[in-house]
Amino acid sequence: MSNSIEDLETADVIFQIGGNAHAAHPIIGTFLEGAAKKGTKYIMADPRKVGSAKFADIHMQQNLGTDIALVNGMMNHIITNGWQNKEFLEKHTKDFDALWDVVKEYTPERASEITGVSAEKIKEAAELYAKAPAAAITWGMGIAQRANAVRTVWTLANLALLCGQIGRPGTGLNPLRGQNNVQGSGDMALNPGWLPGYQMFNEDYVEGLGGKRETATANREKFEKAWGVSLPSARGITQMEMSTAAGEGKVKCMYLSGSDPIAMAPNLNKSIVDYCNLELLVVQDLFMTESAKLADVILPASSNLEMWGTVTNTERRVQLVRPVIDPVGDSRPDYDITLDLIRRFGEEDYLTGENNKETAMNIMKEISLLTPQYAGVTYDRIERMDTRSQGVRWPIPKDAPEDSIGTRYLYSTGFAAGKVALKGQHHTTAQAEPPTEEYPVTLVTIRDLYHYDNGSMTTRSNTLMKLMPHGIFEINEETAKLYGLSDGDKAKVVSIRGEAKAIIRITDRIPTGQVYSDFHHADTLINAVTQDALDPLAKEPELKACAVKIVKIDGDSSSAKLAKDEVKEVELATV
């Protein structure tokens, strides 16, 4: 997030698109709902009536995959009326004319034809956002898990820049992070394209972004010196590319640490074949996950409640995890396992301390030395900030005052790169895999309130399993009629890649011709159905839409049908 959680509570206007905080970030969801009740204008753009929809002042239910057209329509209306922030545009941006060249084609009427949202609603949302003293944009996986994810995020950035709604309290571009340390995984360079702190190391790539080649060289040399190794200059490959490369025999060894790509990645049947082709698969996890079943060696990791460590939340706040209990069985903290392996490779281990906390602190010391955003992050500082401002928000400089809690919002004085380009984006095909005669329904995968990720954590909670014991396919009444389905029926969803089973729930919250499925339940494994089309830039798969058919599973009605009261009406989330 460019801003912080309190900025979502204090904004005059919230524009939430492709995200359902109510179910996926429930506490932020309650804050947004509270803000709306106190007078914040709450604009929602989501194909589904998600949990907070009843609090929204405007709800635009756009057709799947039409986010770019929707936001272009808003920008068209803003520019036509001269509501853009001319002073901000002049000072901080370039290529306004190029943006207009694209956006001028998207009158609210044309945007309405593409998105299915009325031109009036698009105009109303545009005016509210542009004229607000402070307006914040927030989104979730509905924007990110698309084959046009990067172009959609650019479009949202265009909107914020056009109206100068960034760099101030209550504004900004605020993606909500789905796990407690997703933010950290980017910060720590679990990414093939940069070193910790987003320090790019490939000269051509940096030049392509408009930066200087020397910066890349200097970044690489900084880490080479600190780590005492020589680093390759070529960028690596992403998760989906690794899996394909394994299938092709180019990647021979994979090490999965806390990740379960078999259950979580799209096109599961292809993933299984790919991963089986590896000479060595190491899986380090808490449980025998779908991926672990394909491992050559499994290493038992400790959970975050068994060790010292830090995680960075969605607003860049670095927070502590503490050992609530001792490590379970012979499990060990991930970082201890890595350090042990490093020693076995004959390398010096200068990070392992006298005890668990000292080891964690030693690693954080190295992180803060090499990662500018974390320069002032220390365990002492985090532990001192134990009130409402628990933790510290990066960037925080090394010499920050003792009581500093870091940075609430970014870009208060402009952008590091100087003037940023407004990169206008056209709406293209709505879906990488449009519905066909044989597969006429679009499947959307979502998160629900009661479960999380591959379910390895939440399906082991008795309470959560009572609340939602199995996967669910949500469809509306009309779709149900078309395929002869009733509430509680057992059904399968089938694509050209595979099939998955769950229980039908009929709801009025979604449009006809769409089916929504969570991906948390091992007895559904919806990713056998999803597709692996990738965003060309971020290599993010299009998990949010693929063409399917729904088939009722007949059989003994007592086992196929669940009593309605057995399943608590749950909130499923488009994230």
Q: Which is nearer to another protein, 154 or 194 (CB)?
A: 194
Neighbours of 539 (CB within 10 A): 15
For the bound state, the minimum distance from the C-beta of residue 359 to another protein, rounded and expressed in Å, comes to 8
Cβ distance to another protein smaller for residue 403 or 556: 403
**Count of other CB atoms within 10 angstroms of residue 399:** 8
By 3-state DSSP, what share of the chain in percent is helix, strand and coil, each rounded to 5? 35, 15, 45
Q: Environment class of residue 39 by beta-carbon count within 10 Å: exposed (0-12), middle (13-18) or buried (19+)?
A: exposed
Distance CA 227, CA 54 (A): 53
Residue closer to another protein (CB basis): 106 or 374 = 374
Smaller CB separation from another protein, 115 or 284: 284
Nearer to another protein, 128 or 195 (CB): 195
Which residue lies nearer to another protein by CB, 162 or 360?
360
Q: How far is the CB of 433 from another protein (least distance, A)?
A: 18
Q: Are 524 and 553 in contact (CB under 8 A)?
A: no
In the block, tokens 């906390």 appear at: 357
Closest CA to 544 of 534, 557, 554, 553: 534
Smallest distance, another protein to C-beta of residue 354, A: 16
CA distance 469 to 502: 11
Q: Identify whether the C-beta of residue 415 lies closer than 8 Å to the C-beta of residue 537.
A: no
Q: What minimum distance in Å lies between the beta carbon of 555 and another protein?
A: 23
CB of 471 to another protein, least distance (A): 16
Please give the full DSSP string across 344-369, using - where no structure is assigned: HTT-------SSHHHHHHHHHHHHHH
Residue of 192, 98, 194 whose CA lies nearest to 154: 98
Q: How far apart are CA 119 and CA 431, in angstroms?
A: 22
CB of 484: closest distance to another protein in angstroms?
27
- Nearest distance, CB of residue 320 and another protein, angstroms: 7
Closer CB to another protein, 98 or 280, in the complex:
280
Contact indicator for 568, 467 with CB cutoff of 8 Å:
yes
Is there a cis peptide before residue 434, judged by omega within 30 degrees of 0? no
Distance, CA of 517 to CA of 502 (rounded, Å): 8
What is the token pair recorded at 130? 């542009």
Smallest separation, CB 183 to another protein (Å): 7
Query: Toward another protein, which CB reaches closer, 337 or 420?
Result: 337
Q: How far is the CB of 244 from another protein (least distance, A)?
A: 11
Considering the complex, state which of residue 8 and residue 550 has its C-beta at the smaller distance from another protein: 8
Rg (CA), the chain: 24
Closer residue to another protein in complex, CB, 462/559? 462
Q: Which helix (H) or strand (E) holds 482?
A: helix 477-482
Tell me the closest approach of the beta carbon of residue 319 to another protein, in angstroms.
4
Amino acid present at 63: N
Q: What CA–CA distances, in Å, run from 575 to 159, 239, 432?
A: 21, 20, 18
**What does DSSP assign to residue 353?**
-
Rounded Cα gap, residues 314 and 27, in angstroms: 12
Nearer to another protein by Cβ, of 115 and 148: the residue is: 148
Closest contact distance (angstroms) between CB of 540 and another protein is: 5
